[in-house]
Chain A
Amino acid sequence: EVQLVQSGTEVKKPGESLRISCKGSGYSFTSYWISWVRQMPGKGLEWMGRIDPSDSYTNYSPSFQGHVTISADKSISTAYVQWSGLKASDTAMYYCARGSGRVDYWGQGTLVTVSS
């Protein structure tokens, strides 16, 4: 069974750093892109970027370039997204997903709250 299991809820202060994770199982992790998608409270889906876990090649949406870093460790079938300086506007649910379009499996989501 294909599964993407994400790390748990995070509560952070503005300016803090954060890394959230997404562990894939039940398939060949290096055979599919992993995308990250943001959903702000009450809003729509926003494609942040993607990573090829086989070689860690990444693409970013211009809206997220420079503000987040997407990475992966293929030895443990895990992808990450990290922030070096969180803002209140980063408060959102973050999903990892298998594929870059035609996304067929999604993680359960990681809720990130940034508040002073």
Chain B
Amino acid sequence: EIVLTQSPGTLSLSPGQRAILSCRASQSVSGSYLAWYQQKPGQVPRLLIYGASTRATGIPDRFIGSGSGTDFTLTISRLEPEDFAVYYCQQYGSSPPYPFGQGTKLEIK
């Protein structure tokens, strides 16, 4: 089973700054089948990125996914107030299970 490790656990930044979130897999993720989700308190998770770098419908272009193999990154180019949330990665390549990472909390500094 592939284990996903996200870092940092918490990231404290100000609006307008750039955020870089990391997701590292214990084995290579086949086909770059890696997704990123955003979850705000009391809300359902929202799909941001799939296939490592493709933005989901309606996701602003300040959200940029990159990476392959075992190392993946979500970059938020210029933070807006509504971007402060918890972010999860999930791998869905090859056979299940399809675990999530433990999450990165992006908080306002």
Q: Which residues of A contact B (CB under 8 A)?
A: 35, 37, 44-47, 49-50, 59-62, 95, 100-104, 106-109
Q: How large is the interface on B (under 10, 10 to 19, 20 to 34, 35 or more residues)?
A: 20 to 34
Quick one: which of B7-43 are within 8 Å of A by CB? 33, 35, 37, 39
Secondary structure at the B interface, as helix, strand, loop or mixed, is loop
User: Least Cβ distance of B8 to chain A in Å?
Assistant: 14
Closest CB of chain A to B15's CB: distance in Å? 25
Tell whether B50 is near chain A: CB-to-CB under 8 Å: yes
Question: Is B63 an interface residue, CB under 8 A from the partner?
Answer: no
Kindly identify which residue among B57, B97, B102 contacts A44, using a CB–CB cutoff of 8 Å: B102
Q: Are B44 and A106 in contact (CB under 8 A)?
A: yes
Q: Which listed residue (B35, B45, B101) contacts A106, Cβ 8 A?
A: B45
Confirm or deny: B84 has a beta carbon within 8 angstroms of a beta carbon on chain A.
no
Contacts of B37 in A (CB 8 A): 45, 103
**Residue contact A102 to B47, C-beta cutoff 8 Å:** yes
Give the residue of A101, A106, A107, A108 whose beta carbon is less than 8 angstroms from that of B98.
A101
**Chain B neighbourhood of A44, CB < 8 A:** 86, 88, 100-103
Instruction: With A45-B37, A101-B91, A102-B50 as known contacts, state yes or no: A61 contacts B44, CB within 8 Å.
Output: no
Task: State whether A103 and B97 are in contact (beta carbons under 8 Å apart), knowing that A45-B37, A45-B103, A47-B90 are contacts in the complex.
Answer: no
Q: Is the CB of B97 within 8 A of A102?
A: no
Given contacts A44-B88, A100-B92, A102-B35, contact A61 B47 (CB under 8 A): no
